[in-house]
């Protein structure tokens, strides 16, 4: 029987097969094989340079690892559940081929620092992929702002019509949200990209290893300085999943908007039919299922974060086997967000506003009321007095079933006799939109400038 690298001679009996099935993680951590082999190759190079193994032994180990990598990538590698995890499966395969030379690879390290290193490498790669997808989604929103941006749409608070905005202003709002998501990921990456390799089980090692050597080979920016901390903590992982949770919240908010916009009642947007599904009984239905699932999957990612927080909240220093359970929620959160982003990019790119329907309904809801109030403020009327007056005028227009711009000059002069026909210069959707001035507003000039900024930032021609 082949020896188990994780089971020393201290045991008086073989492990129960039920325990093997209960403790295995190869069914889900096999996806770490590239990171595990990269860490092992770096470790072998360091051991050779530190004269802990010979150059010839290093070469044999690296050649063996490269061959194992090829088998893993081709699907020819046979995993053995009794070896518990990806680390032991790869190491035992190396021992089976090289004997004692293969047994030397684990010199100066433990599975504790090995798995932390693997996870940091994997998360680093995932951060870079998600960042690229976020940039792709930003580009889709900018392109939509360019093609549909001059359309004026109603903006809502409390899901009630509030003020008119350019559609481009709305689309660029998501670019801002996604940019903060990208900044959080970049900041998280700094803490992820610290090497755990060489901190061993919990206390370090008495062997003369060079941790900086392996860190440099693997592209880490620094070292985890305390071996106990390295073995015990997963805060870098929790931070990453927190970032994923916020991305999911932003995607869910966007999906909710467009689900509402696509209804017959709103009819503001046309979602590409290739991203919709039908009904098994109602032949007329074109359902925004992709958006609904995006909204729903946000709950999974938030749940994954909750799982990780509860998992680590009560663990004593240092490593505990509970941490084996960190990978499932991590992988699920990352896979879910990547999948949502991958499908959101073409969905946004292919969507179009229902311009005629939007324009036909713009006069509803007194979208120019706030601009009219600010017109009065500019004439020296206190804000609270102006606010109350416009409320009365809205009530009057509602009784007459007309727009504010349809009220007579006498109606306005009943509030303030000094008002003249210039008041109509701020009434109506186009006038209200043109009145905006402030930085960050929906002013056409401000929005055009922002589109230019985003095109330059995202390198959109």
pLDDT tier for residue 7 given thresholds of 50, 70 and 90 = low
**pLDDT above 90 (res 201):** yes
**pLDDT above 90 (res 16):** no
Q: How much is the pLDDT for 1?
A: 39
> What is the count of structural domains for the chain?
3
Question: Are both 263 and 337 inside the same structural domain?
Answer: yes
Q: Is 104 helix (H, G, I), strand (E, B) or coil?
A: coil
Query: What average pLDDT does the chain have?
Result: 95
Catalytic annotation present for 158: yes
Backbone phi, psi, residue 229, to 5°: -60, -45
Q: How far apart are CA 8 and CA 23, in angstroms?
A: 17
CA distances, 326 to each of 18, 119, 293, 307 (Å): 22, 10, 24, 8
Q: Is residue 208 part of a domain?
A: no
Task: Write down which residue in 107, 139, 163 finishes a domain.
Answer: 107
Q: How far apart are CA 323 and CA 25, in angstroms?
A: 11
% pLDDT > 90, the chain? 92
What mean pLDDT is predicted for residues 348-368? 95
From 158, 408, 422, 461, active-site residue:
158
Segment 88-116, tens digit of pLDDT: 999 999 999 999 999 999 999 999 999 99
Question: Are both 97 and 149 inside the same structural domain?
Answer: no
Question: Are both 56 and 189 inside the same structural domain?
Answer: no
pTM: 0.93
Containing domain of residue 21, as a range?
A: 17-107
Segment 214-239, tens digit of pLDDT: 999 999 999 999 999 999 999 999 99
Q: How much is the pLDDT for 3?
A: 52
Task: Write down which residue in 316, 333, 358 finishes a domain.
Answer: 358
Q: How far apart are CA 291 and CA 287, in angstroms?
A: 9
Question: Are both 264 and 342 inside the same structural domain?
Answer: yes
**pLDDT above 80 (res 172):** yes
**Token digits for 47?**
């051991």
% pLDDT > 70, the chain? 98
Tell me the CATH number at 449: 1.10.40.30
Among the listed residues 232, 226, 231, 239, the one whose alpha carbon sits nearest the alpha carbon of residue 191: 239
CB under 8 A, 24+ apart: contacts of 391-394: 394/366, 394/369
From 273, 279, 388, 449, active-site residue:
279
Segment 376-421, tens digit of pLDDT: 999 999 999 999 999 999 999 999 999 999 999 999 999 889 899 9
Question: Are both 184 and 271 inside the same structural domain?
Answer: yes
Q: How much is the pLDDT for 17?
A: 84
What mean pLDDT is predicted for residues 45-73? 98
Segment 340-356, tens digit of pLDDT: 999 999 999 999 999 99
**Token digits for 56?**
């010839």
Question: Are both 400 and 289 inside the same structural domain?
Answer: no
Question: Are both 344 and 379 inside the same structural domain?
Answer: no
Terminal Cα-to-Cα distance of the chain (whole angstroms): 64
Do 305 and 238 contact (CB within 8 A), yes or no? yes
């Amino acid at each position: 029987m082949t020896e188990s690298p994780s089971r020393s001679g201290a045991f008086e009996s073989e492990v129960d097969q039920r325990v093997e099935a209960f403790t295995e993680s190869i069914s889900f951590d096999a996806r770490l094989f590239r990171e595990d082999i990269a860490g092992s190759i770096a470790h072998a190079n360091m051991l050779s340079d530190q004269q802990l193994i010979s150059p010839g032994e290093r070469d044999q180990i690296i050649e063996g690892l490269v061959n194992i990598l090829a088998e893993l990538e081709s699907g020819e590698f046979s995993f053995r559940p009794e070896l518990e995890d990806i680390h032991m499966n790869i190491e035992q395969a190396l021992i089976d081929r090289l004997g004692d030379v293969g047994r030397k690879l684990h010199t100066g390290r433990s599975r504790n620092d090995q798995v932390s290193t693997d996870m940091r490498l994997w998360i680093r790669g995932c951060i870079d992929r998600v960042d690229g997808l976020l940039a792709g989604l930003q580009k889709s929103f900018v392109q939509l702002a360019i093609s549909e941006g001059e359309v004026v749409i109603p903006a809502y608070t409390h899901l009630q019509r509030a003020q008119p905005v350019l559609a481009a202003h709305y689309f660029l709002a998501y670019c801002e949200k996604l940019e903060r998501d990208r900044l959080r990921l970049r900041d998280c990456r700094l803490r992820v990209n610290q090497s755990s390799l060489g901190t061993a089980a919990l206390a370090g090692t008495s062997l003369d290893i060079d941790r900086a050597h392996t860190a440099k080979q693997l592209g880490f920016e620094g070292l985890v300085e305390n071996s106990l901390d390295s073995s015990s903590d997963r805060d870098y992982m929790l931070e990453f999943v927190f970032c994923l949770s916020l991305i999911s919240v932003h995607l869910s908010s966007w999906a909710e908007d467009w689900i509402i916009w696509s209804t017959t009642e709103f009819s503001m947007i046309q979602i590409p039919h290739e991203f919709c599904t039908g009904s098994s009984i109602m032949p007329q239905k074109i359902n925004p299922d992709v958006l609904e699932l995006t909204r729903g999957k946000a709950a999974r990612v938030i749940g994954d974060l909750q799982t990780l927080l509860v998992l680590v909240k009560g663990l004593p220093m240092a490593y505990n086997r509970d941490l084996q359970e960190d990978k499932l929620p991590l992988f699920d959160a990352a896979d879910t967000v990547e999948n949502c982003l991958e499908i959101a990019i073409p969905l946004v790119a292919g969507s179009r506003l229902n311009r005629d329907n939007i324009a036909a309904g713009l006069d509803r809801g007194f979208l120019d009321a706030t601009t009219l109030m600010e017109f009065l403020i500019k004439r020296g009327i206190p804000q609270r007095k102006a606010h109350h007056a416009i409320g009365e005028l809205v009530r009057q227009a509602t009784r007459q079933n007309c727009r504010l711009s349809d009220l007579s000059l006498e109606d306005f002069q009943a509030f303030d006799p000094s008002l003249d026909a210039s008041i109509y210069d701020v009434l109506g959707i186009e006038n209200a939109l043109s009145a905006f001035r402030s930085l960050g507003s929906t002013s056409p000039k401000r929005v055009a400038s922002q589109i230019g900024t985003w095109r330059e930032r995202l390198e959109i021609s």
